[in-house]
Amino acid sequence: MADRLLTFSVFRYNPITPEIPPRMQEYQLEETMGMSLFIALNRLREEMDPSLMFDFVCRAAICGSCAMLINGRPGLACKTLTQDMPDRITVMPLPVFKLVGDLSVDTGVWFRHLNVRTEAWIHTDKVFNPKSIEARMDNPTAQAIYDAERCIECGCCIGACATANMRADFMGAAFLNRIARFMIDPRDERPTAKYFDVVGTDEGVFGCIGLMACDDLCPMEIPLQGQLAFVRRKMAQMALKCKKSA
Amino acid sequence: MNWSDAHISDVLVIGAGLAGERVAIEAAMNGHRVTILSLVPPRRSHSTAAQGGMQAALGNVAMGYGDNPDIHFEDTVKGSDWGCDQEVARLFCELAPVAVRQLSHWGVPWSRVVPGKRTLPDGVDIEDLQEKAGLIAQRQFGGTAKWRTCFASDGTGHVLQYAMDSVVIKLGVAVHDRCEAISLIHNGDTCFGAVTMDLRTGEIRPYLAKATVIATGGYGRMYGVSTNAVINEGTGMAIALDTGVVPLGNMEAVQFHPTGIVPAAILVTEGCRGDGGILLDKNLHRFMPDYEPVKKEIASRDVVSRWMLHHIRQGFGVDSPYGPHLWLDIRHLGPGHICTNLREVHTICQNFLGIDCVEALIPVRPTQHYSMGGVRTNKHGEAYGLKALFAAGEAACWDLHGFNRLGGNSLAETIVAGMAVGERVADFAGEQSLIFPFSLVEEAMAAQAQRLADLRSRKNGAEDVFVLRRRMEETLLNNVGIFRTGADLQEAVTTLQGLYERAQHLRLRSSGLGPNPELLAALRLPGMLRLALCISFGALQRTESRGSHYREDYPRRDDDHWLKRTLAYWKPGDPMPDLQHEPVNITELPPGSRGYGEMPIEAGD
């Protein structure tokens, strides 16, 4: 790997200057040991083009800021090492989300909107009593909730999803996983019927066409297909129950 | 300026990490209209990177039975090397259990107590009792007499932030992400809000409020190597200092975490050592018991980091292309433990070291991690010097941590301070009516517009922002680290003064149009250099060693002269901070022995 000269082909477009059309711009860098796309893109910015826009926050693959298309596949740039890549690396912004500029996309607004739409918070009639000890929970349940809660809302599963790319109203694997998280949480008192209104539709779990790219590309390795299947099963049971009682 | 651009709310919170969101929730629950500004979507805040957990004296686990806020208080004061405000520490320790339980009510999947007998890695047999089954589990952290740190695997910050943000969303609190406060609007007596830049468009707007809260976290990225996220550039502290009337407290108190991985400088949690992990040198010798026979690897962070660097200086570091390091060994904890309770550490080692830490040693080195210093406030979170300005969390010097923060006390501080300061903010906003002098707002906007225009015109100066910034990072890293001397600190002050002067003459290479990254870097750099000077000059003046501030030329704590807090002011136009001091509030526990870190480090290392 020593002495490799890497070519980066980077998508450029700045909405502030709409007269300059979107384009691919090429840069070259000498590869260094342990180089990640975090290191490479920052070097491009500081040494060659200080106007280059991209998003990094934690640079440790835990905050979800730096998802982009890397040689065509959604992934987190901070944990992508150049040693695992060919000499030529193409980076483009994640699709589906609104472009802020160059490689930067607006995931914040998208995810907040979906969190509001799916009411992704604990629904309970219980009132917190600061004087009493905590309600008990068995540890396997806590771990199962944690497993789903590990989602970092990076958007890789959304950018990779054929349905989400075709239809703006599809909530995608991230939110079906989020729904599954609340379904298994005993603190959330929502009856299954309540979830049905939100996800028992084409915009929700029945919009999935089963290509499984979400599962393949999740940087947190959350078993998204399993989570989707869980929600789908719950919804199907609910639908059958409604049919019987009708 | 266009007045229709002004954004008005009751409470303006700058920063959407745990402290900011908790303050916002308290204010919103009291019926106030709250706006949160954030550089990034709240769930990307640096709070999410916290791994190991949050201290609260619940006494739920075998090694924590009998714990109570008194013991937590004593640990915190000793950890701070008697630099903390004891009234604040007392309030904090009493409230922390309530905070943890409320978070459980809001949906945090805390790991839970599993009853039964087991043997710890050091051979001690323990039994968790059936009567505690299903309560919130707790692990050991450094510098504590009891196992007190509540956790959710090792993704505690992440799940806390997600639960907190879910409450923010539920309450309908407005969050303006990709927004940066670039100056405070004030008249020298009262704060009226902030001038902010929209990081989507590069335009500036006034945000006006009855109460303004700074909760922007730390400045770790000013050090060239830090565990901190890239957004941790001290912007909130800088705009407070910039007012000329609000002081920063104890900026010389900088924490270095013992276990940043090499070379990526990503944190692996103190929980690794708390759960039984050990530190090894190049001969695979466990060296910490040689220096700290009682606490070993779980003395406080300042002490462990110091001994690690000392041991490296003695020639026992492992050589690598990135300089010498030591090993963290958690292999003996076994895959069952590592893949559940240290799961994110396992993933980080895979992603950034290409190793499986179930089978391999982890290369680590002490790394800049946390700022005990910050915007000086009273115990209610009210900033010194300006009415209607508050601060909370790492951005504040409340002052819970003194000269060394205990692991697990920062997550706890964000939430507890959020509750306590939030209550004060809510009361304050309830008593005030919204008043602001129009001309003051227009002047504040005009001043910032002029700064932007100057930079975008690319007429003045020839200095490159990235070059100066890198020089600042190197200076702090090399001269204001774990071991400090008068000569090194003087050199740092001189270098930083030079950089500060040069930073008045920045010239952009790019157009600076819109939310241009070079423009943003240029806007932030002078403020960062002011903070760097507060840190370095404060460290130079403090001729003693206390907590994380270790002077090789003054290796002892000096309570006769230095049982006091540094307050750094920056008068407009001055080239240097003005340092003043105030006494430390000692209400319960007089200065004494910490019980660790006592062995002298020989001179001439």
Q: Kind of pairing, strands B389-391 and B374-376? A: unpaired
- Position A1 pLDDT exceeds 90: no
Q: Domains along chain A?
A: 5-105 (3.10.20.30), 107-245 (1.10.1060.10)
Residue where the block lists tokens 């009516």: B433
Q: What is the mean pLDDT of residues B334-342?
A: 95
Best of B105, B139, B167, B269 to disrupt the A interface by mutation (most A CBs within 10 Å)? B105
pLDDT in tens, B235-280: 999 999 999 999 999 999 999 999 999 999 999 999 999 999 999 9
Q: A59 — contact with chain B (CB < 8 Å)?
A: yes
How many C-beta atoms lie closer than 10 Å to residue A114's C-beta? Answer: 17
Q: Which residues of B are catalytic?
A: 257, 273
Q: What is the mean pLDDT of residues B40-66?
A: 97
pTM: 0.97
Q: Which of B488, B501, B500, B582 is nearest to B536 (CA)?
A: B488
Contact B49 A107 (CB under 8 A): no
Contact A143 B509 (CB under 8 A): no
Best of B29, B38, B40, B44 to disrupt the A interface by mutation (most A CBs within 10 Å)? B44
pLDDT in tens, B175-203: 999 999 999 999 999 999 999 999 999 99
In the DSSP assignment, the letter for residue B245 is: S
ipTM: 0.97
- Position B84 pLDDT exceeds 60: yes
Residue B367, amino acid: T
In this prediction, residue A96 has a pLDDT band, given cuts at 50, 70 and 90, of: very high
- Position B448 pLDDT exceeds 50: yes
CA distance A71 to A92: 8
At residue B217, what are phi and psi to the nearest 5 degrees? 75, -160
CA distance B572 to A125: 53
CA distance A13 to B107: 41
CA distance B577 to B569: 6
In this prediction, residue B604 has a pLDDT band, given cuts at 50, 70 and 90, of: very low
Facing A187 at nearest CB: one of B107, B263, B352: B107
CB B377 within 8 A of CB B396: yes
Question: Which range is least confidently modeled, B144-153, B370-379, B595-604?
Answer: B595-604
Q: A102 — contact with chain B (CB < 8 Å)?
A: no
**Residue B147 tokens, joined:** 């196992």
| Mean model confidence pLDDT for chain B | 96
How many C-beta atoms lie closer than 10 Å to residue A76's C-beta? Answer: 28
In this prediction, residue B605 has a pLDDT band, given cuts at 50, 70 and 90, of: very low
Facing B177 at nearest CB: one of A33, A108, A119: A108
CB B142 within 8 A of CB B304: yes
Cis? peptide before B263, omega within 30° of 0: yes
Question: Which range is least confidently modeled, A181-190, A231-240, B75-84?
Answer: A231-240
Q: Give the max Cα distance, chain B.
A: 73
In this prediction, residue A246 has a pLDDT band, given cuts at 50, 70 and 90, of: low
At residue A201, what are phi and psi to the nearest 5 degrees? -135, 180
Q: What is the mean pLDDT of residues B345-367?
A: 96
pLDDT in tens, A2-16: 589 999 999 999 999
CB B217 within 8 A of CB B326: no
- Three-state DSSP class for B243? coil
Q: Is the dihedral of CA B518, B524, B526, B529 positive or negative?
A: negative
Question: Which range is least confidently modeled, A97-111, B363-377, B451-465?
Answer: B451-465
**Residue B89 tokens, joined:** 């520490």
In this prediction, residue B1 has a pLDDT band, given cuts at 50, 70 and 90, of: confident
Residue A209, amino acid: I
